[in-house]
Structure 1
Amino acid sequence: MPPPTAVDPWLTSRRFGIVIDAGSSGSRLQIYSWKDARAIRDSKGAEVDNTLPTVEKGTKEGEEWFTKVEPGLSSFADNPDGVASYLAPLLEHARTQIPPSLQPETPLFLLATAGMRLLSPEQQTEVLQSTCHFLKFHSHFRIDDPSPAGPCGASVRIITGEEEGLFGWIAVNYLMDGFKGSDEERTTYGFLDMGGASTQIAFEPSKEEREKSHGLMDVRLRLLGGKEIQHQVFVTTWLGYGTNQARERYVGQTINEYEGNRALLHRPAATSEELVSDPCLPKDLKLTESPVQPSSSSSHSKKPHTLLGTGSFEQCLKQTSPLLNKDTPCPDEPCLFNGVHVPPIDFSASHFIGVSEYWYSSEHVFGLGGPYDVVQYERAASEFCSRDWSHIMQEHELSRQKGTLGGDGEVIEDGKVLSTGKWGDQVEISRLQMQCFKAAWLVNVLHEGIGLPRIVDPGGNSTTEGEKVAQQANNKGLGRPKFQSMDTVGDIAISWTLGKMVLEASNEVPPLSESTRPPINSIPDAGHSSVEPPRPPFLDFDAIEDQLSHHLPSSLTRHSLGFSPVGLIFYFITVTVFITVFYRLRHRIRSSVRRFARRKDRDYIAMGYSMEEGYTFTNGLSSPSRPASPTSRGVFRLLDPLRRVSSFGNRPLRPASIVVTSPTSRSGQSSPSRMSPHRSPSFPPQDFSNGAATSYVPGSPRLYNGNLVSNGSVTSLTSRSRNSSRMDLTSPYVAYIKADNLTDY
């Protein structure tokens, strides 16, 4: 559906924000929007002063506010140049949904999570550099300047697990109205998140515990009236305690126990036909697995083993409980599991909401998403685990063929829900294989790890705060449990990206005073990055075209043509200008080339003549040949290029005096006679009677085959007497030119 036009009332005073969640398996772009705080106050008055901005989907209708690409951004660790084409569809989608006039004020964030954290610092640097460069120079969206947080400031960076948990906590409490009411009436929800690699917890301790606890994060949210509300939140992450990594540790533990028992009984090593019992697999399911990091040094423990499901949920609970490592030393009391410090949780006042695997493991197979009842949950898990795997596959195939099952576990016929607790065709077989283990792991984390009570008083909590929380949950249709799994509230998905946008929208509300601090403080590793800011290229045609894309027809864009039309136009103009300039200067260039070639001939002739007659040309004067000093040779060699440049071109000839030397007298001295200077620019050869030598002016005639040609006559390079048929090389008459600078000719 096309975005609304500028005259649509929905766009009036509307602001937008974009978050790209760069996860390990893909990148998801989500567009959010909210009304400007000033406009809301002008229209509704002071009644909204104690509320947060209403963050909604970024599109008026439809689901175009969300899109994604695969694989994850971390897959470009060895090919950072591929990031541009990878992110291009996401950026193009955002541009089509947000009006061009609003894009310069729309913040864009690309925040990477688990996948990017696993890369080396060098790989992280290269990928973030490429990402920052593409987003900054190929869009009009608002991106931070370089700062200690990263090359694009806080707009492009890797967030910590604590940040991810904190943003999720903000999203949950925003959707569940946990931030409404006065400071005394306000009761927030705790947040639980479990993925494949880690699990997280975020909650606000009681007032008494906040005064004693350390390491709490200050969260300040600005209400529409400019007033701030402050919360102190505890956030921590358990790496390696997600469902996938917990399963890997469980497989290694099971194989080690089997090999240990075999060694005690002195039985032979297990063969490929021998099966290892696994209570965490549905009955009769066989899976061949290898321990990723076996704790035993036995070579047999490192080999693949075939696990046979026995389908005992109760036994699975017992065998997975030690994986919590509750016995790990606790350096900072109190701890929950694996030696991680967590302040005491008062479950009589604290209510938790779980997302991700808490929702998937409850809803997709059991159909028990929402309010959590441990008795009902364990009964459903026990029944599923004990079923034969062949029966489970038959039911899955029937569901796929009929196509009548929804993704929420409901059986629908003629628009009516006939039953729940079934799984649809979108549930993968791998989910069914691991469902028994994941259900047991979830129960152990909730009760053995976090400490959620298994038995709840039917009368419920009698405190005022608890009753208010229960009423809020009832209004949302979620009951009043201590824990509930959720995926959405209304039509808004619970995501840490929503929490990030709530912070952004809150921070844009004008503060009551200039001394207001940032919305979040003390997030570990959130403020510094070793990545250098990108430097824009001299000419980036793709970026230039992106700046002009909104003014070009769709048929002339780079994506339609397969090349950059801006680059093609630039090269065409450059070549055209070069050809035009060269054509206009062709005569001068040709003349300059000819003069340069003739100048070399003149220098060669002058040098040969002077050497033959025993004279050298020094500063335009002929003198008897004598070795030049090293200093003078060096100076003239340095000045020679300058003299050539200064004499390059057509310059008028300077007058020259012709000096004729008579034959050497007996005393060994010569008697030169001076002629008047010639003023004609063409200096023809002169004849002198009575044995006078023929003069030679370098540069006037041309030299062909070693002879001087002047006016159709050939003159020998050597001076000859007209009255003699031979040349006396010992005592010739020599005519030489006395000029200010011979190189001028």
Structure 2
Amino acid sequence: MKIPKLAILFILVVGTVAYLTYIRRPQILKETISKPQYPHSRTDPTNLSTDRFQYGIMIDAGSTGTRIHIFQFLLEENATHKLARETFRAIKPGLSAYVDDPEKCTDGIQELLEVAQESVPSSQWNITPLVLKATAGLRLLPGEKAQQLLDKVREVFDESPFLSRHDSVSIMEGTEEGISAWITINFLTGGLQGGDGATVGMLDLGGGSTQITFSPQDEKSIQTSPIDYITSFQMFNRTHTLYSHSYLGLGLMSARLAVLGGVEGQPLEGSTELVSPCLAPDSTEHWEHAEVDYTVKGQKAGEPIYESCYSKVEKALYKKVQKAEEAEDAHFYAFSYYYDRAVDIGAIAEKDGGTIKVNDYIEAAKKVCNSIAETPPTHPFLCLDLTYISVLLQELGFPKDKELKLAKKINNVETSWALGATFHYMELHSRD
């Protein structure tokens, strides 16, 4: 019997649809998940089954810019998460630039929220937490002025389609920043998911503060540490006990000012001229810090530069740092200015990262400081910065042969505190 052409066409269409729906589609989904998209991906998340994903939005309001991180997590049967994708966007300047006109900060926040709306399926908007945490830029502002900026952000959040709570907008404490960065690193390296409890420590050297965070293994070191340095929290059905502390005023820029003899936020006895043995002899440099313009001069030639600079750094750090027990035994990642100065001395490639020993900073400091009289460095403060880093690490309890890992990304994901803070926030509100 001859089959009509229309019937044949109908059978072909039905067969193709069935193949794509029941055979080919699961394979496409599997391939998409097994090759997760990372920062700057523009893949449309609505192409995937949304009930298998959870989203979190974290806005990092820093001193120089505001950055949005939109995380897409793949939900696993054992209640753990896998990072499927991160969408990232940054704008300048930071919120603190609008201190005298808070209303103007809302345009930038709206711009970032538009990115979030493009990245998160509309069906998930009302259950996706939206959080902004401000760091150094707002910490340095007078309380009332910082609050005005935060209030404006809250107004924008309240009108957005995302989930905004009473604690969605805040200034981040330094210790919280350290813990969040620790969570990020250990999630990306697998330390949080592993059953053996093996984790890595975190060192961060920012402009205004520096943090150290790690998981001590000896109960004695937990008991003998200052009580406010020890914290515990639950994540992924495990309790983590951490040694974590943030040293405000010991970030590289604030410490540089202290070593030079200045006072944070105010000219020295009405003058902005400073003299330091850490600069090339008879040199003059101009440096702006915390909206104060300084003129910094090197001392007269003939003084032993490294020894004199080292003495100034030791004085600036005297009795300000607690030596961390077990720090020399734990594996550590180091970030921010630790990374940047390692690049400056050629210890690592800027894009690749690598490893460095504390002694590498020490030897580089001696070499740079002792040569600046004849060959001024491209970076006029390199002698000071390297000397400070080398002394700081030793004061924190790291021996000269201690090796540190330096990385800006792990598995193609930025090693910022944003991912850890998002996890922590979602964990706190998981029972809401």
Normalising by the smaller structure, the TM-score range is 0.7 to 0.9
Maintained 8 Å contact 1:15/1:34 = yes
Report how far residue 442 of structure 1 moved.
0.5
Instruction: Please tell me whether residue 207 in structure 1 is matched to residue 198 in structure 2.
Output: no
Structure 1 Cα separation of the partners of residues 52 and 106 of structure 2: 32
Match of 1:19 among 58, 61, 67: 58
Report how far residue 96 of structure 1 moved.
2.0
Report how far residue 27 of structure 1 moved.
0.8
Instruction: Please tell me whether residue 500 in structure 1 is matched to residue 421 in structure 2.
Output: yes
Report how far residue 324 of structure 1 moved.
0.5
Instruction: Please tell me whether residue 155 in structure 1 is matched to residue 168 in structure 2.
Output: yes
Structure 2 Cα separation of the partners of residues 291 and 110 of structure 1: 25
Q: Give the partner amino acid of 1:436.
A: C
Q: Which runs of 5+ in 2 are unaligned?
A: 1-40, 263-272
| 2:14 paired residue number | none
Report how far residue 320 of structure 1 moved.
1.4
Instruction: Please tell me whether residue 70 in structure 1 is matched to residue 92 in structure 2.
Output: yes
Structure 2 Cα separation of the partners of residues 103 and 291 of structure 1: 40
Map of 1:250-289 to 2, 5 A cutoff? 250-252=259-261, 278-282=276-280, 285-287=283-285
Change (3 A) 1:452 1:140: same
| 1:104 paired residue number | 126
Instruction: Please tell me whether residue 452 in structure 1 is matched to residue 398 in structure 2.
Output: yes
Maintained 8 Å contact 1:53/1:506 = no
| 2:240 paired residue number | 231
Q: Deviations over 1:482-525 (max 9, x none)?
A: x333222121111110111233565687xxxxxx8x9xxxxxxx
Change (3 A) 1:91 1:284: same
Structure 2 Cα separation of the partners of residues 16 and 97 of structure 1: 10
Q: Deviations over 1:237-288 (max 9, x none)?
A: 22211111212122228xxxxxxxxxxxxxxxxxx9xx96x44235774326
Q: Give the partner amino acid of 2:398.
A: L
Map of 1:488-567 to 2, 5 A cutoff? 488-504=409-425
Match of 2:362 among 378, 394, 399: 378
Match of 2:144 among 116, 119, 122: 122
| 1:220 paired residue number | 234
Structure 2 Cα separation of the partners of residues 492 and 319 of structure 1: 38
Instruction: Please tell me whether residue 359 in structure 1 is matched to residue 339 in structure 2.
Output: yes
Partner secondary structure for residue 371 of structure 1: strand
Which protein has the larger Cα radius of gyration, Structure 1 or Structure 2? 1
Q: Which runs of 5+ in 1 are unaligned?
A: 42-48, 59-64, 145-152, 223-227, 254-271, 293-302, 327-337, 394-428, 457-480, 510-515, 519-745
Partner secondary structure for residue 380 of structure 2: helix
| 1:32 paired residue number | 71
Report how far residue 66 of structure 1 moved.
1.4
Maintained 8 Å contact 2:283/2:297 = no
Change (3 A) 1:309 1:113: farther
Q: Give the partner amino acid of 1:117.
A: R
Q: Deviations over 1:146-172 (max 9, x none)?
A: xxxxxxx12111111111111111112
Maintained 8 Å contact 2:281/2:298 = no
Report how far residue 201 of structure 1 moved.
1.6
Maintained 8 Å contact 1:24/1:116 = yes
Q: Deviations over 1:19-71 (max 9, x none)?
A: 110011111111111112xxx32xxxxxxx4x84122433xxxxxx2111222
Structure 2 Cα separation of the partners of residues 134 and 388 of structure 1: 51
Structure 2 Cα separation of the partners of residues 239 and 142 of structure 1: 32
Partner secondary structure for residue 446 of structure 1: helix
Structure 1 Cα separation of the partners of residues 135 and 117 of structure 2: 24
Maintained 8 Å contact 1:14/1:34 = yes
| 2:163 paired residue number | 142
Instruction: Please tell me whether residue 442 in structure 1 is matched to residue 426 in structure 2.
Output: no
Structure 1 Cα separation of the partners of residues 127 and 305 of structure 2: 57
Q: Give the partner amino acid of 1:68.
A: A
Change (3 A) 1:2 1:201: closer
Instruction: Please tell me whether residue 306 in structure 1 is matched to residue 297 in structure 2.
Output: yes
| 2:4 paired residue number | none
| 1:316 paired residue number | 309
| 1:179 paired residue number | 192
Instruction: Please tell me whether residue 486 in structure 1 is matched to residue 407 in structure 2.
Output: yes
Structure 1 Cα separation of the partners of residues 222 and 126 of structure 2: 41
User: Over aligned residues, Cα RMSD in angstroms?
Assistant: 3.3
Partner secondary structure for residue 140 of structure 1: coil
Partner secondary structure for residue 297 of structure 2: strand
Partner secondary structure for residue 82 of structure 2: coil
Length-normalised TM-score, structure 1: 0.45
Structure 2 Cα separation of the partners of residues 211 and 308 of structure 1: 46
Q: Which runs of 4+ in 1 moved over 6 A?
A: 289-292, 389-393
Map of 1:646-725 to 2, 5 A cutoff? none
Maintained 8 Å contact 1:221/1:507 = no
Maintained 8 Å contact 2:175/2:244 = yes
Give the count of matched residue pairs: 371
| 1:244 paired residue number | 253
Structure 2 Cα separation of the partners of residues 177 and 55 of structure 1: 12
Instruction: Please tell me whether residue 192 in structure 1 is matched to residue 203 in structure 2.
Output: yes
Maintained 8 Å contact 1:19/1:30 = yes
Q: Give the partner amino acid of 1:109.
A: V
- In proportion to residue count, which structure has more strand? 2
Partner secondary structure for residue 107 of structure 2: helix
Structure 2 Cα separation of the partners of residues 81 and 354 of structure 1: 37
Change (3 A) 1:309 1:239: farther
Structure 2 Cα separation of the partners of residues 390 and 52 of structure 1: 58
| 2:11 paired residue number | none
Maintained 8 Å contact 1:291/1:304 = no
Q: Deviations over 1:363-392 (max 9, x none)?
A: 244233532223434333444444568967
